[in-house]
Structure 1
Amino acid sequence: MGETAALAEYTVSIEYEDIPTETVDHAKKGIRDFLGVAVYGSHHEVGDQIMGYVDRCMSGEESTVIGRGTASPTGAALANGAFGHAIDYDDTFESIVIHPSSPVFGATLAAGEVADADGKDLITAYTVGLEAAFRVGHSQYPNHYQNGWHSTGTAGSFGAAASAAHLLDLSVDETIAAFGIVASGSSALKKNFGTMTKPLHAGHAAEIGVRSALLAAEGFTSDDAILEGPIGYGEVMTTDGSYDPSEITEDLGEEWAVLDLGFKPHPSGVITHAAMDALRTLVIDHDLTPESVDGITVALDDAASEMLHHADPGDALQAKFSIEFCLAAILREQKAGIHEFTDEYVNQPETKEVIAKIDRSFEENLFDAHYASYGARVTVETADGETLVKEVKHHPGSPNNPVSEDRLQAKFDECVLTVLSDDETAELADVIASLETDGSADDLIGLLRP
C-alpha cells in the first residue's frame, strides 16, 4: 500500500477509543491553547480584516466563526485558522517547524458543525489531523522548509483535510481524493513572515482542507497516489531527493504526533523563545534593568537567520520575527505578551534604545541539535563589568522544556478575557476540559458564537 492510501486508511479508521488517555489529555490542552489565542485573534486587526472578507464573500450559517458569528464551512475554516495564527501565539511541534492546531482545529470546528459532531468526534478528528500534518511535514523536512515554504500552510493543509474527511465520514477512496485535491491547493511562503499573510497561511490551509473534503464527498476526483512518484507531492515539494515516504507510514497508528506539541509562552516566532526565557531568568535572578545593561549578545542556530527578518521592527507583526525586540521587551518588562506586541510599544523610544544594545549571532548546529534548533545562548554585559551567560537548549513550552499549567492557564485567561467575560472564560475552560462528555460540543459552540 502506498503512503497516500495508508494515510487515508488511517484517517478513516481511527476511533476515539483507539486514542490513549494521555494523548486525549494533551489534545485537550492543544484545543484550549488554540481556542484561547483564536478568541483573541478574532478581534485583532488581522481578525477584523479576515472577517470583513468572509462576511463579503463566504457568508453563511452552517459553521461558527470564533468570537464573531457564522459563515459557510469554508469561510469559518478560513477565519478560525487565521484567528489562531493572528499573533503567532499558537502551538508548534517540537521536532518540526509547523504550527498545526490553527489549520487543523480551524478545519475541525467548521467541519464538525456540518457533521453534527460530538466532543469525542472533535478530539478524534483533531488528533488525526495533527498526525497527517506531522507526517507529511516530516516526509519533506527540512529541505521543504529550507527552500522557503511555510510548512504550516503546506503540510498543515493535509492535516486540515484529514480532520475534515474524518468528521464527514468519507470513505478511504474519498479521503484519497481529498488528499489529491488539497495537494494542489496547498501553498505558503516564508517570504511573507512579518506580514498579515503569514496568519493567512493557516487560514488558507484550514479552508482548502475543508473544501477538499467537501468536494471529495461530492465525488470530485484527483490522482489516487498524490504523495508518491517523480511528480508526486513529496518529490515536487523537495529539491534534493530527500522526500522520505517512510515518515508517513512508519508506526502509523502506534505513535501520536499530538504528544510532540509545545505551547508558546510568548506571542512571537518560536525561534525566539529560548532566548527570551534565558534572558528572563537573568533579568529576574540579577534584577537587571535597561540602565544596568551595556549590551546583550544572543547566539541562535544558523537556520534562524532566515526567519528573523527584522532587526529593527517597525510594527508588531515585524516584531514577532525580531530577536532584538523580543529581548528588549523582556529586559524592560520581564515578560512579553499581548500587551507588549503592539505597534505603539514597538516604536516607543525606550524600546528602540534597548534594541540598540542587542547583537545577534548564529552558530551552525548550535548544541548539536536538529535543523532549526530552538535553543539559544544569551550573554549580558552589565554596566558594572560583569558578564552573565544563560543557555536554554529547548524552547519553553516544548515537551522537553514544558511550562507550568499555571502559566498556560494565565495565557488562556489573558487572551480570552479580551473578548469574553470572567464567567464565560472560566466556563469555556471547563467545557474544553470535559470535551469528551455528552453535550460538550454544543456548549463549546454556544460559548464561541456570540
Structure 2
Amino acid sequence: MATTNGTNGVNGVNGHANTPPHEQNVPATSLLAAFVANATTDCLTPAMLEKLHELLIDYIGVVVGARDNADSTEPIYAAIRALQGPQVTGPCTVLGMGAPHMLPQYAGLLNSAFGHSMDFDDTHVEGPLHPGVTAISAAMTQAELLGSSSSSLDFLLAMAIGYEITVRVGRELDYSTYDRGFHLTSIAGIYGAVASIAVLKHLDAKTVEMAWGLAGSKAAGSMQYLDNGSWNKRLHPGFAVHDAFMCVGLAEAGVIGATRIFEGKMGFLQAYSPNPNQDMRRLTAGLGTEWLWPASSLKPYPACRMTHGFIELSGNMHTAAKGGVSAADVSAITLSMSPACFKLIGDPSPNKKHPNNVIDGQFSAYFQVANALAYGSKTGLQAYSRLSDEKIHALCDKITVKIVTSMKGFEARMDVQWADGRTDQVEQLFPLGETQHPFTRDKVDEKFFSLAVPVYGEAKSRDIIKMVDSLEKHSVEQLLVLLR
C-alpha cells in the first residue's frame, strides 16, 4: 500500500511539490477512467472479498439503524417521497422501508443519507472521508436496476472500484480541504459513486470521463453545518449519489462534460483544495495492483472519527476508576491533537464545549471525552441522551485542547492532572478500526446486531449476515428481499 507525507515518492519527493496538477503532464482523468472501464472481477482476491463482506455488513447496519435512531430520518424520507410524487412508484429499495418503491436517484439519496446520519459509517484516514456510504449506495441501487443481468461478484467489484476512486481523490484533496469549507465525503464521493455505477453498466472510458466532467459541476458539501449542527451533513452523501445517477445518465445520452476534471487548470482538485502537494502520478500509480481502499476502517463509536482515540483512552480511564470519573476527581485535562483535528473537534466554541444537539456532540472532543470518562466508551447512541448531563458539563469545563503541529492523522494524546496530585499521559496513535488496531469480526457482528435487530429481528439479521458472507453464491436481488 502506498504511503504518504513525503515518503515513497509522494508529497514533493517526486518533484511535484507546489506544481499545479495541470503542469504535471499526467493525464490523470483519462487514466482513472480507463481503470474504471477495464476493471474485472479477476482483481478481487479472497482477502478483498472478505473485507468487502465486512464493509457491506456494516453499511447495512448503519443504514437501517438510522430508521429509529436519527431524528432527521422521518422528515428527509417524507420530503423525498413528496418530491418523487405521491402517484409515482419506482423499482428501487430503501433499506428497512419495505418493498421497492423509489426511483433510483432517490433510493440512492435516501440510503446514503441514512447511512451517514449517525456518523457511524466507515472511514479512511488518508482523506479523511467516509467512502462506503456513497460507493455502496450507488452500487446497490444500480445492481437492483440491472437485476439478474448483473452478478453479485460484479456488485462487489463495483463497490471496490467506487471505494478506490473515492479514497484516491480524497487523498489528493487532503485535510487542507477543510480550510476551504468543503466536506470531503461528498465532494470526493460523487466520483466514486459514478465509478460504481459505471462498473456495473460496463461503460467505456470516454463515458466515464464525461460523467466525471459533469460531476465537477455537482460536487458539493459545505462544512458550515458545524455552525449549528445542521442536517446538511447527513444529506451530503445522499446528494452525491443522486447527482452521480444524473451525471451518468447525461453522459450516456451524449451530453458533453468537462475534460481533465481532476488535473485541469480550473479543475476539481485545484478548485476544492489548497493542498500544494497534489500529485497526479500518485493519484494514478499502481491502479489495479496497489489498493488503498482495504485500509478503510469500521467505526466503533457513532462520532467523528477524529474523536475516537480520545474516546478509547477515556473509556480505559473510566474502567480503571471502577466507578467512572467525575469532575471532582480531576484538576485539569489536556487533549493534544493535530491542527486539522482541532478545526473539527477541538475549537473551544460554545457548541463544542457544551453541545446541545447530536451533530455538535459528534464533533466535540470535550463532550466525547467527558461522556467516556463518566459513563464509559461503550454507551453508543445513548451518549446523546446526555447532552444536558451536569456530570458531563462539569468534566467538559476541566478540558482544554492543545494543537500539536507534529501530530498527524487521528493521533490522540491526553494529559490528566488528578485531584490527588497524580498525573497521567496516555496516547493512541491509531484509533480502534485502523489496520494497526483492528476492529475484529466479532465486533463487526456485534455492532451490526445492535443496529439491525430492532428493525429486522434477530433471526432475519442472522440470515442477512449469512447471505452477505456467501454473497457470491446469491444475487443482489435475493439480498435486497431480506433488506426490505
Determine the C-alpha separation between the residues in 2 that align with 1:337 and 1:32. Answer: 21
Aligned residue for 2:381, secondary structure, equals coil
Of 370, 376, 398, the residue aligned with 1:357 is 398
In structure 2, relative to structure 1, the CA distance for the partners of 1:78 and 1:328 (3 Å cut) is same
The residue number in structure 1 matching 2:124 is: 93
The residue number in structure 2 matching 1:257 is: 292
Matched, 1:331 2:352: no
Aligned residue for 1:359, secondary structure, equals strand
In structure 2, relative to structure 1, the CA distance for the partners of 1:248 and 1:85 (3 Å cut) is same
Determine the C-alpha separation between the residues in 2 that align with 1:306 and 1:152. Answer: 16
Matches within 5 A, 1:187-336: 187-193=220-226, 194-239=229-274, 241-287=276-322, 289-291=324-326, 293-294=329-330, 295-308=332-345, 310-336=352-378
CA deviations 1:49-81 (Å, max 9, x no partner) are: 221121111353221111114311000111011
Q: Which runs of 5+ in 2 are unaligned?
A: 1-25
Aligned residue for 2:400, secondary structure, equals strand
After TM superposition, give the deviation of residue 11 of structure 1 in Å.
Answer: 0.8
In structure 2, relative to structure 1, the CA distance for the partners of 1:246 and 1:60 (3 Å cut) is farther
Maintained 8 Å contact 1:94/1:399: no
Q: For structure 1, which segment, 175-184 or 221-230, has the greater mean C-alpha deviation from structure 2 after superposition? A: 221-230
Determine the C-alpha separation between the residues in 2 that align with 1:246 and 1:42. Answer: 42
Determine the C-alpha separation between the residues in 2 that align with 1:307 and 1:336. Answer: 22
After TM superposition, give the deviation of residue 200 of structure 1 in Å.
Answer: 0.9
* Root-mean-square deviation (Å): 1.8
CA deviations 1:136-163 (Å, max 9, x no partner) are: 2222324333322111010111001100
Maintained 8 Å contact 2:29/2:261: yes
Counterpart of 2:395, as a letter, is V
Determine the C-alpha separation between the residues in 2 that align with 1:406 and 1:385. Answer: 40
The residue number in structure 1 matching 2:411 is: 375
After TM superposition, give the deviation of residue 241 of structure 1 in Å.
Answer: 4.9
Determine the C-alpha separation between the residues in 2 that align with 1:281 and 1:337. Answer: 13
Maintained 8 Å contact 1:267/1:336: no
Q: For structure 1, which segment, 212-221 or 105-114, has the greater mean C-alpha deviation from structure 2 after superposition? A: 212-221
Matched, 1:5 2:41: no
CA deviations 1:235-265 (Å, max 9, x no partner) are: 2223465432223211111111221201111
Maintained 8 Å contact 1:104/1:156: yes
Q: For structure 1, which segment, 285-294 or 181-190, has the greater mean C-alpha deviation from structure 2 after superposition? A: 285-294
Output the TM-score relative to the length of structure 1. Answer: 0.93
After TM superposition, give the deviation of residue 275 of structure 1 in Å.
Answer: 0.9
Of 41, 46, 65, the residue aligned with 2:66 is 41
Maintained 8 Å contact 2:144/2:477: no
Sequence identity of aligned pairs in percent? 24
The residue number in structure 2 matching 1:398 is: 434
Q: For structure 1, which segment, 263-272 or 94-103, has the greater mean C-alpha deviation from structure 2 after superposition? A: 94-103
Determine the C-alpha separation between the residues in 1 that align with 2:215 and 2:379. Answer: 34
Determine the C-alpha separation between the residues in 1 that align with 2:336 and 2:239. Answer: 34
CA deviations 1:416-442 (Å, max 9, x no partner) are: 123120111111111111122133x12
Maintained 8 Å contact 1:181/1:222: yes
Maintained 8 Å contact 1:299/1:361: yes
Aligned residue for 1:128, secondary structure, equals helix
Maintained 8 Å contact 1:303/1:364: no
How many positions carry a matched residue from both structures? Answer: 442
Determine the C-alpha separation between the residues in 2 that align with 1:50 and 1:208. Answer: 17
Q: For structure 1, which segment, 158-167 or 401-410, has the greater mean C-alpha deviation from structure 2 after superposition? A: 401-410
Maintained 8 Å contact 2:317/2:373: no
Maintained 8 Å contact 2:67/2:96: yes
After TM superposition, give the deviation of residue 10 of structure 1 in Å.
Answer: 0.9
CA deviations 1:64-120 (Å, max 9, x no partner) are: 111114311000111011111101011111222111111111111111111223321
After TM superposition, give the deviation of residue 189 of structure 1 in Å.
Answer: 1.7
Matched, 1:63 2:92: yes
The residue number in structure 1 matching 2:210 is: 177
Counterpart of 1:72, as a letter, is L
Determine the C-alpha separation between the residues in 1 that align with 2:366 and 2:165. Answer: 35
CA deviations 1:357-391 (Å, max 9, x no partner) are: 3222221122xx3xxx2011112333433222211
The residue number in structure 2 matching 1:107 is: 138
Counterpart of 1:126, as a letter, is M
Determine the C-alpha separation between the residues in 1 that align with 2:134 and 2:379. Answer: 23
Q: Which runs of 5+ in 1 are unaligned?
A: none
The residue number in structure 2 matching 1:345 is: 386
Determine the C-alpha separation between the residues in 2 that align with 1:104 and 1:167. Answer: 12
The residue number in structure 2 matching 1:435 is: 471
Counterpart of 1:355, as a letter, is C
Of 385, 391, 395, the residue aligned with 2:421 is 385
Counterpart of 1:349, as a letter, is E
Q: For structure 1, which segment, 398-407 or 331-340, has the greater mean C-alpha deviation from structure 2 after superposition? A: 331-340
After TM superposition, give the deviation of residue 285 of structure 1 in Å.
Answer: 3.0
Maintained 8 Å contact 1:36/1:415: yes
CA deviations 1:298-351 (Å, max 9, x no partner) are: 211122121025121011221000111111221122124443243x32112333
In structure 2, relative to structure 1, the CA distance for the partners of 1:237 and 1:339 (3 Å cut) is closer
Output the TM-score relative to the length of structure 2. Answer: 0.87
Maintained 8 Å contact 2:115/2:121: yes
In structure 2, relative to structure 1, the CA distance for the partners of 1:239 and 1:362 (3 Å cut) is closer
